[in-house]
Amino acid sequence: MRATLMYGAGDVRIETVPDPVLREPTDALVRVVRACVCGSDLHPYHTMPATTEGTPMGHEFVGVVEETGPEVTTVSRGDLVIAPFAWSDGTCEFCREGLQTSCLHGGFWGADGIGGGQAEAVRVPLADGTLVKAPVGEDSELLPGLLTLSDVYGTGYHAAKSAGVGPGDSVVVIGDGAVGLLAVLSARQLGAEQIILMGRHKDRTGLGVEFGATDVIAERGDEGIAKVRELTGGHGAAKVLEAVGHMPAYTQAVGVVRPGGVISRVGVPQYDDAPVGFTTLFGPNITLTGGPAPARAYIERLMPGVLDGTVQPGRVFDRTIGLEQVSDGYRAMDRRESLKVLIRP
């Protein structure tokens, strides 16, 4: 089959690899119907050291079950299924608590002998814990929306949920990528009253406004902080959702959060250390929370709104390509010519 491998920064190739086959009785074989490129795929696209082996790419996909191992009971051949960006057993103590990204027996796509989603097919381990069946066919117009449940919508929702966003809240979202925009949508779903989106790309922030942002701030640094304070009674917002992962976004978050407030990070941090001392987090009693979203935990909660059209998270996809164009897809996202690229293998 054809699959995407990354060999180093900027070096994404589509290649022929062995077809995946069932190995464990808990496996399912899924033919990929839609996949996509993630903002987090751009991190290795910028920094990955050159290798000779290549790493399978893609951690977001929906597909059709082709075959299941004898122990799989919740999905069957022909089902359209959503795969969250981490696979998990669904039964360990962390899965039961809804933290499937810390599953004791789980893992991530494209590692440990498991392929990536930017491919024609994937062997899905622990299929009962991992996959969620969606009641649509593979020609459904809802596939892009359902695909966001693999990662970006769940991740935006995790940002808002971890921050404790609720009715009447004042929220700042940092970052106008797909996750930031879906953090806006999620904050709105959770009842936030004021949602200030910080981003500089007008086509993106425009979609953010349609998703529920009440204000858009293009300025960064001190100027951006001053604008947020103006809009929030002088002291910043109680909930700040950081959907970028670079240090300037962290600094921005610290600048716009209100004393006693929460910074919720879902952008994968591209730093190890950050300011957390008296003048930044400690003195004003700021809480720092977030992490990789347990997307699996949110699929059942968020799918109904996608199915009935209440929300249209699939609007984050602004370009569709085939697998052979995947390298172009990375380039388009890297150059910000595209917000998020949908792949039809």
Shortest Å distance, C-beta 116 to a second copy? 19
Shortest Å distance, C-beta 161 to a second copy? 11
- One residue of 3, 33, 81, 99 binding a second copy per CB under 8 A: 99
**Nearest-angstrom CA–CA distance, 307 and 254:** 37
- One residue of 278, 309, 310, 335 binding a second copy per CB under 8 A: 278
Residue-by-residue DSSP string for 134-162: ESS-TT-TTHHHHHGGGTHHHHHHHHHHH
Helix axis angle, 152-162 to 178-189, nearest 10°: 50
Q: Please list, in sequence order, all residues whose beta carbon lies within 8 angstroms of the beta carbon of residue 64, skipping any fewer than 6 positions away.
A: 30, 31, 33, 78, 79, 80, 81, 138
194 binds a second copy, rule: CB under 8 A: no
Shortest Å distance, C-beta 136 to a second copy? 31
Nearer of residues 260 and 304 to a second copy, judged by Cβ: 260
Q: Using an 8 Å Cβ cutoff, are 91 and 127 in contact? A: no
237 binds a second copy, rule: CB under 8 A: no
Q: What is the DSSP letter of 297?
A: H
Shortest Å distance, C-beta 53 to a second copy? 22
- Which tokens in the block code for residue 286? 């700021």
Could you tell me which stretch among 65-73, 92-100, 133-141, 182-190 binds a second copy (CB under 8 A)? 92-100
Longest dimension (CA), the chain: 61
Shortest Å distance, C-beta 322 to a second copy? 32
260 binds a second copy, rule: CB under 8 A: yes
The binding site for a second copy (CB under 8 A) comprises 93-94, 97, 99, 101-102, 162, 233, 235, 259-260, 265, 268-269, 271-292, 294
